[in-house]
Structure 1
Amino acid sequence: MGKVYFIGAGSGDPELLTLKGKRVLESADIIIYDRLVHPVLLYLAKDSARFIYSGKYPKHHVLKQRNINQLLLEEGQRDQIVVRLKGGDPGIFGRVGEEINTLQNARISYEIVPGITAASAASSYSGIPLTHREHSSKVTLATAHRQVGETIDFKGLTENGTMCLYMGVEKVKSTQQKLLEQHVAPQLPVAIVEWGTLGRQRTVTATVQTMTKVIEANKIQNPSLIILGDVVSCRNGADWYEQLPLFGHKILLLDTEKITFETILTYTQKGADVYGIQVGDNRDLRFDEVHKQYLNDHYFDEMVYLDQDLMTMYKDQWSVLNEQIK
């Protein structure tokens, strides 16, 4: 019988993967990955590893949770290393409890490798400390998607505290209403961080009174983190991450050779939102479907040819993608 590892991939920046997560990922025989996992992490996989996309789109799961549970059961019973690669930290709104319960009932061995959750990552990359001697002595992580009848003490949790709401954009109107009904100060600072820790990150600030209008005006969408608390006042314009030289650049790398994880990092370390694709007859065919899924969700407005011959081979810079990934 094999072993299943639940690995937290971190919040987006591929370097937020832990050393243990990297080691296990490199040895995996099968990798089941979510939508919020940056797929460049799959470049760490060995050549024989299989990839399975579990999707997890809002309101549409490519693989429903019960199917994922069954998949873990079937693959975990084989003599192999199975990695369930999840965005952020598996134990924070990652439904890992349901998945490990399936394995426990079948007596399948597993381990959980924690990851850096969105609250820590997105706040740090936006220049907002979650705790501060003058502003906050406690932090609450909550989801805006609450069970029927469930209530949250917004008033108590935001007094000398910080509240982080995961995936809260869709429910922002009802959340704002509950905040005001509980007499949370209308001028309490709020930050909304979209696509935290990636080069496409956007951070906007508001107050409880204006948060809905600000989100609508800026067309903010999930994945986004809403941070409520006086600590938001610590942000002073664009912070360290947003000042990196390639921040905001959406760059697609093309090469006829395998693009290494280290090559990707030379761009992300400068703040770029980057993805790499190997093209040509010698490409790794496992990634054809991975590329399709990722390019369906994200666009890039700059292209870098790592193999200069590609510039003369293709008159239309996108024809190579249409031909190799259709």
Structure 2
Amino acid sequence: MGKVYFVGAGSGDPELLTLKGKRVLESADVIIYDRLVHPVLLYLAKDSARFIYSGKYPKNHVLKQKNINQLLLEEGQKDQVVVRLKGGDPGIFGRVGEELVTLQRAGIRYEIVPGVTAASATSSYSGIPLTHREHSSKVTLATAHRQSGESIDFKGLTENGTMCLYMGVERVASTKEKLLEQGVSPQLPAAIIEWGSLGRQRTFTATIQTMVEVIKEQQVQNPALIILGEVVSCRKGKDWFEQLPLFGHKILLLDTEKIDFETILSYTQQGADVYGIQVGEQRDQRFDDVHQRYLSDHYFEEVVYLNKELATIYNKQRDVLNRQFI
């Protein structure tokens, strides 16, 4: 019987993966990965590893949770190392508890490798401390998708505290209503952070009163985090991440050879939103589906040819590169 590792990929920036997470990924025989996992992390896998996509889109689950549980059971019973790669931290709104029960009942060994959760990553990459001696002595992580009848003490949790609402954009209007009903000041600062810690990150500041309009005007979509609390006032314009030289640049790397993980990091370390693709007959075909899926969700405005001969081949096809990459 094998072993299953639940690995937190961190939130966005591929360098937020822990050293233990990297080691486990490099030894995996099977990697079951989510939609919010940056797929460049799969470049750390050994050549024989299998990739299984289990991503969930809003209202369109590629694999339903019960199917994921069954998949973990089937793969975990084989003599192999299985990595369940989840965005952020597996134990924070990652439904890891349900998956653990399946393994526990079958007697399958497992480990949990924590990751950097969205609240930590997006606040840090936006210049907002979650705690502050003058503003906040507690932090609450909550999801806007609550069980029926469940209530949150918004008033108590935001008084001298910080509240982080995961995936709260779709229900921001009802959240605002509950905040005001409980007597939370309409002038309490709020921050809305989309695609936190990636080069495509967008950060908007508002108040409880104005956050619905800001989200609508800026067309903010999930994945996004809403931070409520006086700590938001610590953000003063663009912060360190947004001042990096390549922040906001959406760059697609192309090469006929396998793209080295460190090459990708040389761009993300400068703030760019980067993806890399190996093209040609000698490409690693395990990534064909990975690339197709990722490029259907994201577009890139700049192309860097790591193999200069590719510039001649693709130079006249930049408008279709996001669809035609093989």
TM-score between both structures, scaled by the size of structure 1:
0.98
Q: Return the offset for 1:137.
A: 0.2
Residue correspondence of structure 1 range 124-273 to structure 2 within 5 A = 124-273=124-273
SS in 1 for 2:101: helix
Give the partner amino acid of 1:140.
T
Structure 2 CA distance for aligned equivalents of residues 292 and 313 of structure 1: 20
Give the partner amino acid of 1:127.
G
Partner of 1:274: 274
SS in 1 for 2:174: helix
Confirm whether residue 11 of structure 1 aligns to residue 20 of structure 2. Answer: no
Give the partner amino acid of 1:42.
L
Structure 1 CA distance for aligned equivalents of residues 299 and 323 of structure 2: 14
Structure 2 CA distance for aligned equivalents of residues 152 and 322 of structure 1: 44
Q: Return the offset for 1:311.
A: 1.1
Structure 2 CA distance for aligned equivalents of residues 18 and 10 of structure 1: 8
Per-residue CA deviation, residues 182-222 of structure 1 (Å, 9 max, x unaligned), is 01001000000000000000000000011100110111000
Q: Return the offset for 1:55.
A: 1.3
Partner of 1:89: 89
TM-score between both structures, scaled by the size of structure 2:
0.98
Structure 2 CA distance for aligned equivalents of residues 136 and 120 of structure 1: 15
Structure 2 CA distance for aligned equivalents of residues 134 and 149 of structure 1: 34
Partner of 1:317: 318
SS in 1 for 2:248: coil
What runs of 5+ residues in structure 2 fail to find an aligned partner?
none
Q: Return the offset for 1:316.
A: 1.6
Confirm whether residue 294 of structure 1 aligns to residue 294 of structure 2. Answer: yes
Residues 12, 37 of structure 2: 8 Å contact kept: yes
Structure 2 CA distance for aligned equivalents of residues 8 and 109 of structure 1: 18
Residues 44, 261 of structure 1: 8 Å contact kept: yes
What runs of 5+ residues in structure 1 fail to find an aligned partner?
none
SS in 1 for 2:102: helix
Partner of 2:20: 20
Partner of 2:113: 113
Residues 288, 324 of structure 1: 8 Å contact kept: no
Partner of 1:47: 47
Residues 279, 320 of structure 1: 8 Å contact kept: no
Per-residue CA deviation, residues 51-94 of structure 1 (Å, 9 max, x unaligned), is 00001111111011000000000000000000000000000000
SS in 2 for 1:316: helix
Residues 295, 323 of structure 2: 8 Å contact kept: no
Structure 2 CA distance for aligned equivalents of residues 169 and 84 of structure 1: 27
Measured at CA, do residues 321 and 248 of structure 1 come closer, stay the same or move farther in structure 2, by a change above 3 Å?
A: closer
Q: Return the offset for 1:317.
A: 2.9
Give the partner amino acid of 2:49.
A
Residues 278, 284 of structure 1: 8 Å contact kept: yes
SS in 2 for 1:128: coil
